[in-house]
Amino acid sequence: MESPRWLDDEEQQAWRHFIVAAARIEDALDRQLQRDAGMPHAYYQVLAMLSEAPGRTLRMSQLAEVTTSSPSRLSHAVSRLEEKGWVRRDKHPTDRRGALAVLTEEGYAALAAAAPGHLAAVRAAVFDRLGPGQVAQLLALGKRLAEGCPPAG
């Protein structure tokens, strides 16, 4: 096994800035949501994805997919959201292994209440900082980096 070449100067800088930016953005969003809505960003994403799904319902495996979380992580998260009354588990009609996560009315209300503050945080942390044309660049880069990456284990 040969040792791969190190990052050149531009790559090095890009990499360091990227991990700092990603960490700070996630931190800012987590803190805002935890403070104002009593949930971490990961849980907000669960509610958000469910709210857009037909019947506000998604199979656990699909919900894990769209929220970029492992099955275990999602299962724990849904359990926690169930305790809050924001999500309910239903049995899958045809596949008896499957479980369905359903967003409750209370869950939808909690999401609706949290959304404006979260949106403001996203703007403050990201889009308010970007110049014209940079949104398109972010889109292109995000697309490239998101696709093909192995999903969570």
Cα→Cα distances 129→109, 115, 133, 151, Å? 30, 20, 12, 29
Residue 32 burial (10 A CB sphere; 0-12, 13-18, 19+): buried
Cα→Cα distances 68→99, 103, 150, Å? 18, 18, 10
Q: Per CB under 7 A, does 5 bind DNA?
A: no
Q: Per CB under 8 A, does 132 bind a copy of itself?
A: no
The residue within the footprint of DNA, chosen from 28, 73, 108, 122 (CB under 7 A), is 73
Q: Per CB under 7 A, does 29 bind DNA?
A: no
CA 97 – CA 69 distance, rounded (Å): 19
Adjacent-strand bridge partners of 60: none
> Segment 54-83, which members bind a copy of itself (CB under 8 A)?
68
Binding mask 87-126 for DNA (x = CB under 7 A): --x--x-xxxxxxx--------------------------
| Closest CA relative to residue 32, chosen from 127, 146, 119 | 119
Adjacent-strand bridge partners of 89: 101
Q: For residue 81, what are the contacts with CB-CB under 8 A and spacing of at least 6?
A: 43, 46, 47, 87, 107
The residue within the footprint of a copy of itself, chosen from 55, 79, 90, 145 (CB under 8 A), is 145
Q: Per CB under 8 A, does 113 bind a copy of itself?
A: no
Q: Per CB under 8 A, does 141 bind a copy of itself?
A: yes
Give contact residues for DNA (rule: CB under 7 A): 27, 30-31, 34-35, 39-40, 42-43, 59-61, 64, 69-80, 89, 92, 94-100, 152-153
Give contact residues for a copy of itself (rule: CB under 8 A): 3-4, 6-7, 10-11, 13-28, 31, 45, 68, 116, 119-120, 122-123, 125-127, 129-131, 134-146, 148-153
